[in-house]
């Protein structure tokens, strides 16, 4: 198989039906833009020139094009006069010989292997124009393939220009074409706006090339889901679900247990080792990496999180963090950017941690906030401890050593440091460093006012209970 000499991607449309401030092809599926998915699929078959027609929201779409394919040549279509017009512009200045592959930027599910098969059949038949078609359960909105008496393609008719009878046809134009360069150029020059939208339809070149007595093929793909186009939010959701299933299948085949694939959402750039278990309601986003034996979920979202072997993360939201081997996170834990949990460390229920290192075997088990801190190994942070890192203007660091025991409800007012093996008394507000091996006590001494309830709350249920226990009114 020879790679096409020119590849043209059409992405100038407004995407009006999306009703969005974001250009259609930049909406995201599984962590990648619609256009990005297509660009990834065509990369292996792009040998010659790659031209991407941009128009609406030009600067954003162009930036995405260059980010995914730095060698691509953006072509600006100032006025959207149709797919045929877009191709006319793209051909100007492009090589004039060989073959031209054309795709729409809004078909993100297309695979490289389908494209390769399509190109191979086109070549084997010395075709001048080939269009990839599919049988759609719901063909609404697509161009329909009209076949002639010999079963070959006669022409393509758009939904809006079709008769009722033609609308019954389920074989549709996927918007993927391969042309002989010269034949395409000759046909493009003959396009007219004689249709319901008053646009130049690329689809019309099929009949024009066929009329020139050349071989024209409609090549049917056997998986219609690959060629689903996105015009509105329902189709976006439909494609997203197909992509989810495709990604999940791939991971299950490589040895990952996904308990409920319908509620598990894994981005394309995530990597997962075998024998990871993912429970329902879990999203693995960005460039997250999950090592073998880890258990993730239920109801967990990890974005750009590195999870080491055997760690457990339950009912938690984590971003930009590193979770060490055999560490435990959750339930209801929020790990923010810059968090590193050491081997066997724990971040338990209702704990928030950001920009902090929690050393090997150290635990933050309950109801705490840890910000801008370094915690050594084997240390325990008592329930409801707050690392007071913000003075209202600046953020400050807290350093806690190895084998420290922070008492429950301690406020560690940064900048402050707690030496190795030190303790703090429960309820302390620690504003000064605590040396190694010491206990920091910073709270008011307790005073009991005897009989207060019996005097001030006489007759209350508490007073009655106190009396029963032998309490008296005297001070
Ligand atoms: C088009 C096809 C239809 C096919 C469907 C497949 C035509 C006339 N119709 O319809 O037969 O079934 O794709 O998904 O081609 N674009 C430009 N410049 C323009 C107009 C469109 O670059 O002036 C781009 C769009 O950004 C989009 C692609 O071309 O990526 C297709 O345009 P769209 O408006 O989505 O065409 P459909 O109505 O889907
Ligand atoms: Ca479309």
Query: Ligand 1 centroid vs 242 CA: distance in angstroms?
Result: 21
pLDDT of residue 78: 96
Q: Report if residue 234 sits inside a domain.
A: no
Same-domain check for residues 83 and 210: yes
Same-domain check for residues 347 and 391: yes
pLDDT of residue 366: 98
Query: Ligand 2 centroid vs 140 CA: distance in angstroms?
Result: 11
**CA pair distance 311, 292, nearest whole angstrom:** 9
Mutational test site, ligand 1, from 77, 83, 167, 202, max ligand atoms within 8 Å of CB? 83
Residue 474 pLDDT grade (very low, low, confident, very high; cuts 50, 70, 90): confident
Using the predicted structure, report yes or no on whether residue 334 has a pLDDT greater than 90.
yes
Q: Report if residue 221 sits inside a domain.
A: yes
Name which residue sits closest to atom 36 of ligand 1, judged by CA. 83
pLDDT in tens, 97-123: 999 999 999 999 999 999 999 999 999
Give the closest residue to 132 by CA, choosing from 47, 256, 228, 60. Answer: 228
104 lines ligand 1 (CB under 6 A): yes
The share of the chain scoring above pLDDT 90, in percent, equals: 97
Same-domain check for residues 435 and 453: no
Same-domain check for residues 359 and 413: yes
Q: Report if residue 188 sits inside a domain.
A: yes
Domain that holds residue 291: 244-440
Q: Report if residue 331 sits inside a domain.
A: yes
What is the average pLDDT across 251-278?
Answer: 98
The distance in angstroms from the start CA to the end CA of the chain is 99
Q: Report if residue 366 sits inside a domain.
A: yes
Q: Report if residue 233 sits inside a domain.
A: no
Same-domain check for residues 248 and 148: no
Query: Ligand 1 centroid vs 123 CA: distance in angstroms?
Result: 25
pLDDT of residue 141: 93
In 152-300, which ranges are E strands?
A: 153-157, 171-180, 216-220, 257-258, 264-266, 271-272, 277-278, 282-285, 289-290, 295-296
pLDDT of residue 14: 85
Query: What's the total number of domains in the chain?
Result: 3
pLDDT in tens, 351-367: 999 999 999 999 999 99
pLDDT of residue 169: 98
End residue of a domain, out of 200, 227, 254: 227
Name which residue sits closest to atom 34 of ligand 1, judged by CA. 13
End residue of a domain, out of 180, 199, 227: 227
Same-domain check for residues 171 and 202: yes
pLDDT of residue 110: 97
User: Exposure pattern of 192-229 as b/e (b: 16+ CB <10 Å)?
Assistant: eeebeeebbbbbbbbbbbbeeebbbbbbebeebbbbbb
Using the predicted structure, report yes or no on whether residue 227 has a pLDDT greater than 80.
yes
pLDDT of residue 451: 97
Name the catalytic one among 57, 122, 366, 396: 366
Q: What is the DSSP letter of 459?
A: T
Per the annotation, the verdict on 366 as an active-site residue is yes
Query: Ligand 1 centroid vs 353 CA: distance in angstroms?
Result: 48
pLDDT in tens, 392-443: 999 999 999 999 999 999 999 999 999 999 999 999 999 999 999 999 999 9
If phi > 0 it is left, if psi is from -120 to 50 it is alpha, else beta; for residue 429 that is beta
Using the predicted structure, report yes or no on whether residue 464 has a pLDDT greater than 80.
yes
End residue of a domain, out of 168, 194, 227: 227
Average per-residue pLDDT in the chain?
97
Same-domain check for residues 248 and 191: no
Q: Report if residue 190 sits inside a domain.
A: yes
What is the average pLDDT across 363-372?
Answer: 98
Q: Report if residue 237 sits inside a domain.
A: no
Mutational test site, ligand 1, from 9, 13, 90, max ligand atoms within 8 Å of CB? 13
Using the predicted structure, report yes or no on whether residue 475 has a pLDDT greater than 80.
no
Nearest atom in ligand 1 to 173's CA: 12
pLDDT of residue 414: 98
pLDDT of residue 239: 97
CATH number of the domain encompassing residue 424:
2.160.10.10
Residue 47 pLDDT grade (very low, low, confident, very high; cuts 50, 70, 90): confident
CATH number of the domain encompassing residue 88:
3.90.550.10
Q: What is the DSSP letter of 444?
A: P
């Amino acid at each position: 198989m020879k790679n096409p000499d020119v590849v043209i991607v059409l992405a100038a449309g407004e995407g009006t039906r999306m009703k969005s401030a974001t250009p259609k092809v930049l909406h995201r599926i599984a962590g990648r833009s619609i256009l990005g998915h297509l660009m990834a699929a065509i990369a292996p078959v792009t040998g010659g020139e790659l031209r991407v027609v941009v128009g609406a929201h030009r600067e954003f779409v162009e930036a995405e094009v260059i980010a995914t394919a730095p060698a691509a040549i953006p072509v600006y279509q100032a006025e959207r006069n149709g797919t045929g017009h877009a191709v006319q512009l793209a051909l100007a200045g492009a090589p004039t010989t060989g073959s031209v592959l054309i795709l729409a930027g809004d078909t993100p599910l297309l695979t490289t292997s389908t494209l390769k098969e399509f190109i191979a059949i086109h070549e084997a038949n010395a075709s001048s124009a080939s269009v990839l078609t599919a049988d759609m359960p719901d063909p609404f909105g697509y161009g329909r393939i009209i076949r002639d008496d010999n079963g070959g393609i006669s022409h393509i008719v758009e939904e809006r220009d079709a008769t009722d009878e033609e609308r019954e046809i389920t074989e549709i134009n996927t918007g993927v074409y391969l042309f002989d360069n010269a034949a395409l150029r000759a046909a493009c020059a003959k396009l007219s706006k004689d249709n319901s939208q008053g646009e130049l339809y690329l689809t019309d070149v099929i009949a024009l090339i066929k009329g020139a007595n050349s071989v024209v093929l409609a090549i049917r793909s056997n998986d219609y889901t690959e060629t689903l186009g996105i015009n509105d939010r329902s189709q976006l959701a439909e494609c997203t679900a197909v992509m989810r299933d495709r990604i999940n299948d791939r991971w299950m085949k490589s040895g990952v247990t996904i308990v409920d694939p319908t509620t598990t959402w894994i981005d394309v750039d995530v990597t997962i080792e075998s024998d990871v278990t993912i429970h329902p309601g879990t999203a693995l986003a960005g460039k997250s990496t999950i090592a073998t034996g880890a258990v993730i979920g239920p109801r967990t979202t990890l974005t750009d999180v590195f999870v080491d072997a055997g760690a457990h993360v339950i009912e938690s939201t984590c971003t930009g963090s590193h979770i060490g081997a055999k560490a435990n996170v959750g339930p209801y834990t929020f790990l923010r950017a810059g968090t590193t949990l050491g081997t066997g460390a724990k971040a338990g229920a209702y704990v928030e941690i950001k920009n902090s290192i929690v050393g090997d075997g150290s635990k933050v088990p309950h109801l705490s906030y840890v910000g801008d801190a370094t915690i050594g190994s084997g240390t325990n942070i008592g329930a409801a401890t707050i690392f007071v890192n913000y003075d209202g203007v600046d953020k400050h660091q807290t350093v806690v050593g190895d084998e420290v025991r922070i008492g429950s409800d301690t406020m560690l007012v940064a900048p402050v440091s707690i030496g190795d093996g030190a303790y703090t008394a429960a309820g302390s507000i620690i504003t000064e460093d605590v040396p190694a091996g010491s206990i920091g006590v910073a709270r008011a001494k307790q005073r009991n006012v005897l009989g207060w309830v019996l005097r001030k709350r006489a007759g209350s249920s508490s007073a009655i209970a106190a009396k029963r226990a032998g309490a008296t009114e005297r001070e």
